[in-house]
A and B are shown apart, each in its own frame.
Chain A
Amino acid sequence: MTKKRKRQDDFQKVKLKVGKKKPKLENATATNFKTKTIHLPEQLKEDGTLPTNNRKLNIKDLLSQMHHYNAGVKQSALLGLKDLLSQYPFIIDAHLSNILSEVTAVFTDKDANVRLAAVQLLQFLAPKIRAEQISPFFPLVSAHLSSAMTHITEGIQEDSLKVLDILLEQYPALITGRSSILLKNFVELISHQQLSKGLVNRDRSQSWILSVNPNRRLTSQQWRLKVLVRLSKFLQALADGSSRLRESEGLQEQKENPHATSNSIFINWKEHANDQQHIQVYENGGSQPNVSSQFRLRFFVGGLGAVDEGLSSAENLKGFIEIIIPLLIECWVEAVPPQLAASVGSGFEREPLQVMQQVLNIISLLWKLSKQHDETHKLEFWLRKNYLIDFKHHFMSHFPYALKEISKHRRKETNKSIKHCTILSNNVDHLLLNLTLSDIMVSLANASTLQKDSSWIEMIRKFVTKTLEDGSRLNSKQLNRLLGVSWRLMQIQPNREATETLIKAVYTLYQQRGLLLPVRTLLLKFFSKIYQKEELRSYRLRYRSKVLSRWLAGLPLQLSHLGSRNPELSTQLIDIIHTAAARANKELLKSLQTTAPRIYDPQEGTVVVLPAESQKRLVQLVYFLPSLPTDLLSRLSRCCIMGRLSSSLSAMLIGILHMRSSLSGWKYSVKDWLITDVDYFSFLFSTLTGFSKEELTWLQNLRGVPHVIQTQLSPVLLYLTDLDQFLHHWDVTEAVCHSLLVIPARSQSFDILQSAISKHLVGLTVIPDSTAGCVFGVICKLLDHTCVVSETLLPFLASCCYSLLYFLLTLEKGEAEHLKKRDKLWGACVSILALLPRVLRLMLQSLRVNRVGPEELPVVGQLLRLLLQHAPLRTHMLTNAILVQQIIKNITTLKSGSVQEQWLTDLHYCFSVYITGHPQGPNALSTVY
């Protein structure tokens, strides 16, 4: 290669041609990459001391960012704060004061996004902060809130309502405590005060007029609606709060003493007796020590020093009513201009209806509040004087219209679109509107002014009656209003016919099927309230409404039809029935008597299907039944036996029947209340037997099943019952025993018992073990020196006793179920043998051991040994010594062929110790055990 060539290579000329791409320079910068900004969402430095959010900002940074001039920074700080607090909830507790003071400060921020973020943060925080935690800071919160509400910027005003919503939901008690400022703010939101000369010569009620702001995004009607919704929520919270303190007249709070049971102690005696529950009753303080004092040195931190009364005094309420009601009427008039309402063709839009609804809601809440302060009806009179004419003019003139217009309107809506209509009916309830109006109006009337108001009251009455009669689809809220109006109508009108039609209308509603539970409950409460009111009148004035008594008489039947479908409703029914029965209401008792066989049916009667608490009430109701015929008693006895009533309830039932029988009371008490003695005894005996006649006859045919125990020495076969049934039967027998024991003529009752046993049980071959045991138990308890045991009974008892003992001795360890019976049955057998030596003798005589198979011999031997060892029986065994000796001899001869077994040696030994009385040392005895 030459130098020249090399040079050429180095400096080769690049030829550029037209139409071809220009080749790239080697040193050209490549520009085809894309850049991205470096985004550092997190700080690299870890702050070890304070927890941080995703951006590694701690609480101090975030809070200091809130003072930043840039709205974006503030918003991101709020979002970051939310992030941080959701990750580390414990920061809330530590920094609550700082957080609240910063967050509430931005309620009045100029930027809408910041306010939105603040509201969202508050929404997040509020459920996590308890009311007592926030209460020290609440003056601050509410100050910021009211500053936002009264802000000159509309946007801030609107957002302040959202804040109010959150606070109302979470802290109703706190926010209603500051009602005096907030109520004024509400008024200022929709109106402004006339500061011109009008103030001088007019009274203050005229000084506020509705304001119209054309700059607002919303129409003024929409805005008013928003404010009114909040106001009614606020008043609702206020009314709820104060009605908790006072007893209210409403239908909802119907209990006589709502707080009476709140702090009383309920104790079960058994636990008290076992030192498990203790009672401490305090001097003058009831069941709880009275330590909470109402005294406060200062009311609120940084407060004005004066107590915030709000609407809690009648005067303040009056003042507020004076301001707000003219405004509300104005709203109403703007929503429903008279000329518009009068013209037929135009229907109401959705908004006006909502406004009307809210206006009425607020008025009815104000009425409710006023009633709470109104002891002397002075306020009611004042309200009537000032507003009746206005209301009549504005509201009532449209009252029949309202329904008509709305129905037309709705028809129009359905033509448009179904979807829209459903929304509408969700939001606006024209029925509720009408009812609220009636409620307001009716509460202005009273009995003395009935004459003057008859025209519009009649209108309302017609409306109410009509609504009730076709009111199958009322919901509970509507019904509550409706019943409230009806109740008031009944109160102001003592006229019977008018009352009767109203009750009748309610009754037709009540009779409809398929009502929801809350609706049904409300109706029941309404009726029981009327009933109680009727009862309060003295005898001469007491007037029984026919519909009411029909309703009352229908209750037992309803109860029996209801069965177990709705236990809550059954409980309410039982409550009312119980009250009426305790007050000896004739109609009710009569219908209860006829329905009693169905209620107390052992198979599917109400008494066996309901939960235990209702069962108890039903059992107690037996006391009030006017008469207890034989079939009812047999049903009751079946109820006791079958185990679907618990044993304590069965004992209670037996105790109640004892009270009703002639054997308990004084000789001179009222005669017609008593059950006949025959019925009473047969009740006791059939309960004692534990099995019905049918069951016993069915048992007779059982052979060869594992539940039936058979021995060769006794004609009686044992049927083994379940353990549950056995224990229940045993417990019930205790109660029966007690009832029998307290009968004064002991020997007579014993005679009745033993004749019943010999009539119903002696012939049987299969006897349930529980029955046998219980019969023994009763005989043992009843027997005393005056009683004579009949001859027919003794062999039966002896063979029963042997069967039982045989069963006990052959019981294997595996049968855990029957093992629990052992102690009880053994005790019963032994005590009857000890009490009646003749039974023992008969039993020993029946032990003809040569008849039995070899497998039963050890059992007989063991039995004899145990009887010999049992101390109370020893003297009786001594008297029968020859018999015992004979048996042992027989056994020995039978076993002589085979090897001497252990049981036989034991038996011989025992016999020699106890009967023949060879003196043996105690060490010899101990070998036996």
Chain B
Amino acid sequence: MAAPMEVAVCTDSAAQLWSCVVWELHSGANLLTYRGGQAGPRGLALLNGEYLLAAQLGKNYISAWELQRKDQLQQKIMCPGPVTCLTTSPNGLYVLAGIAESIYLWEVSTGNLLVILNRHYQDLSCLKFTGDSSHFLSGGRDCLVLTWSLCSVLQVDPSRIPAPRHVWSQHTLPITDLHCGFGGPLARVATASLDQTVKLWEISSGELLLSVLFDVGIMAVTMDLAEHHVFCGGSDGSIFQVDLCARPTERERSFQPEQDPGKVFRGHRNQVTCLSVSTDGSVLLSGSHDETVRLWDVQSKQCIRTMALRGPVTNASILLAPVGMLSSDFKPSLPLPRFNKHLLGAEHGDEPQGGGLPVRLGRHQQGSEPSYLDRLEQLHKVMCSTMEKNVLGGQDQLRVRVTELEDQVRNLRKINRDLFDFSTRIITRPAK
């Protein structure tokens, strides 16, 4: 089997012909386009390899496409306000959206809005999950980066307000981007801010590992998969490379500024808005306000390809193409449910769900698995409910049956009388 294909998924804020375009990364061939709406910055997410979600720029809905039916907008997920950022969990179970200063968490399987988190003081700018979906990070205009543990957020306890696991407040101007490295809860997180710094944090301990000060505000940040380099997109259009694992070189170096590629990718004429590195770490994709998407060779810092778009680029990311994107007969395993606008606990007025068991995946991570006794009880309840339903629902049937039986009795009586009449007539007939 051939290696999975890498594609570049890009959106711009004008969206004249299409709202989202998919290119083959190395040849630049246009594979797919999706139509309908303009995706906002940090608002494009692939859900479970089956759906493409795009938060709309300045509008309060999220567009969802089925990956293979590109022309047709599958669903508009209405939200309480304009969505500023959007992400999905890598296991495809949850959708996170930043709406004003709140984080909304939906469950994909049911469409329920599970929780609304209000710990940011100003609008959110970016949301990211860790690779194992156990934690997520949020950064906002209030200069804070919060790390949340998904499990503790999901524990249903109305009395307790969910608290983030870490609050990182060392940035002094709004957070513009964050990138979560590899390794689940042990991952390192890079955050970029307008205060001209990029900081590297550790999720497990919550410690600040590294802070790099630049000359310009940083608008986008990403790392390669091996976490050897951090790429930082500046507001002046340069992309800076920070080497995380560099030993001081002993060898003598003659002064040859021309030959050394340096650590800056130059070419964009306006602020860089999004960055993404391919899985092998050889190619860097960048989108900018100057309406181009550029593809760079990381080793030599040269621009390989420039693709012009119609407006400032809002999203550009390199993905491993999921099956659904390439084969047309692919069907999503689950239909996308209707996403609720109201919090799950708050909708008492609605009809109770028809005997369905709320199964929440990832529950085992909380350490408090429902015991078998609980499950038995649940099962028993369900069985009881069906029995009750049978009994209660059978009343009509009973009436019908009663009438049937009454009819039968009547029939029998009639037959009996007829028999009696007949026999009396025979007996009382005068003998001849």
Contact = CB atoms under 8 A, between A and B. Distances in A.
Interface of A: 256-257, 260-261, 263-270, 272-273, 275, 278-281, 284, 286-287, 535, 538-539, 578-579, 582-584, 617, 620, 623, 648, 651-652, 655-656, 658-659, 664, 666-670, 738, 741-742
Contacts of B269: 741-742
B263 interface: yes
Nearest to B311: A667
B264 interface: yes
Interface in B192-246: 194-196, 200, 202, 204-217, 227, 235-237, 240, 242-246
Contacts of B270: 742
Interface string B116-146: 0010011100000000000000000111100
B41 A655 contact: no
B22 to A, nearest CB: 22
Contact of B209 (A265, A584, A617, A648): A265
A286 B200 CA distance: 10
Contacts of A270: 215
A248 B199 CA distance: 27
Contacts of A658: 235
A332 to B, nearest CB: 42
A648 B216 CA distance: 9
Given A266-B211, A269-B242, A667-B57, A584 B121 contact: yes
Contacts of A263: 207
A539 B120 CA distance: 11
Contacts of A261: 170, 208
B215 A287 contact: no
A583 B169 CA distance: 11
Given A256-B169, A583-B122, 20 more contacts: A257-B206, A260-B206, A263-B207, A269-B214, A270-B215, A273-B240, A278-B246, A279-B210, A279-B244, A280-B244, A281-B210, A281-B227, A284-B204, A579-B169, A582-B172, A620-B173, A623-B194, A659-B217, A667-B13, A742-B269
A620 B213 CA distance: 15
A692 to B, nearest CB: 27
B79 interface: no
A280 B243 CA distance: 8
9 contacts: A263-B207, A268-B213, A272-B263, A278-B248, A279-B210, A281-B200, A620-B172, A666-B314, A738-B236
A578 B172 contact: yes
Interface string B246-267: 1111000100000000111000
Contacts of A738: 236
B212 A273 contact: no
B165 interface: no
A651 B195 CA distance: 12
Contact of A269 (B142, B172, B213): B213
Nearest to A267: B212
Interface string B325-364: 0000000000000000000000000000000000000000
A657 to B, nearest CB: 12
Contacts of B161: 538
A280 to B, nearest CB: 6
B172 A617 contact: yes
Contacts, number: 142
A264 B170 CA distance: 12
Given A578-B172, A655-B235, A742-B271, A267 B210 contact: yes
B41 A666 contact: yes
- 10 cross-chain pairs, A with B, having the tightest CB-CB distances, nearest first: A668-B58, A583-B121, A264-B208, A582-B143, A742-B270, A269-B214, A267-B212, A287-B209, A278-B246, A273-B263
B246 A280 contact: yes
B215 A280 contact: no
A529 to B, nearest CB: 14
Interface size class of B (residues with CB under 8 A): 35 or more
A273 B262 contact: yes
Nearest to A583: B121
A287 to B, nearest CB: 5
Nearest to A268: B213
A742 B213 contact: no
A286 B189 CA distance: 12
B174 interface: yes
A582 B142 contact: yes
A287 B210 contact: yes
A924 B279 CA distance: 60
B41 to A, nearest CB: 6
Given A659-B194, A741-B269, A538 B118 contact: yes
Given A582-B122, A584-B142, A620-B172, A280 B247 contact: yes
Contacts of B243: 272, 278-279
A264 B212 contact: no
Contacts of B179: none
A284 B186 contact: yes
Contacts of B123: 670
B195 A620 contact: yes
Contacts of B143: 582
A539 B118 contact: yes
A269 B240 contact: yes
A281 B271 contact: no
Contact of A265 (B170, B210, B289): B210
A249 B96 CA distance: 34
A267 B13 contact: no
B287 interface: no
A659 B173 CA distance: 11
A270 B216 CA distance: 12
Given A279-B246, A584-B122, A659-B194, A666 B207 contact: no
Nearest to B163: A536
Contacts of B240: 269, 273
- A267, A279, A539 interface centre (most CB from chain B within 10 Å): A279
A281 B214 contact: no
B58 A279 contact: no
B294 interface: no
B173 A623 contact: yes
Contacts of B57: 666-668
Nearest to A669: B58
B250 to A, nearest CB: 12
Contact of A286 (B122, B170, B209, B227): B209
A535 B169 CA distance: 14
Contacts of B211: 264-267
A55 to B, nearest CB: 55
B122 A281 contact: no
Contacts of B271: 664, 742
A286 B205 contact: yes
Contacts of B202: 286
A322 B259 CA distance: 76
Nearest to A575: B172
B98 interface: no
- A578, A617, A666 interface centre (most CB from chain B within 10 Å): A666
B142 A266 contact: no
A651 B13 contact: no
A578 B172 CA distance: 8
Nearest to A263: B207
A664 B273 CA distance: 11
Nearest to A270: B215
A278 to B, nearest CB: 5
B398 to A, nearest CB: 52
Contacts of A578: 172
B194 A256 contact: no
A266 B206 CA distance: 17
Contact of B213 (A266, A281, A617): A266
A281 B245 contact: yes
B245 A280 contact: yes
Given A260-B206, A281-B188, A582 B121 contact: yes
Interface in B29-63: 40-41, 57-59
A285 to B, nearest CB: 9
A577 to B, nearest CB: 12
Nearest to A738: B236
B105 to A, nearest CB: 16
A668 B118 CA distance: 23
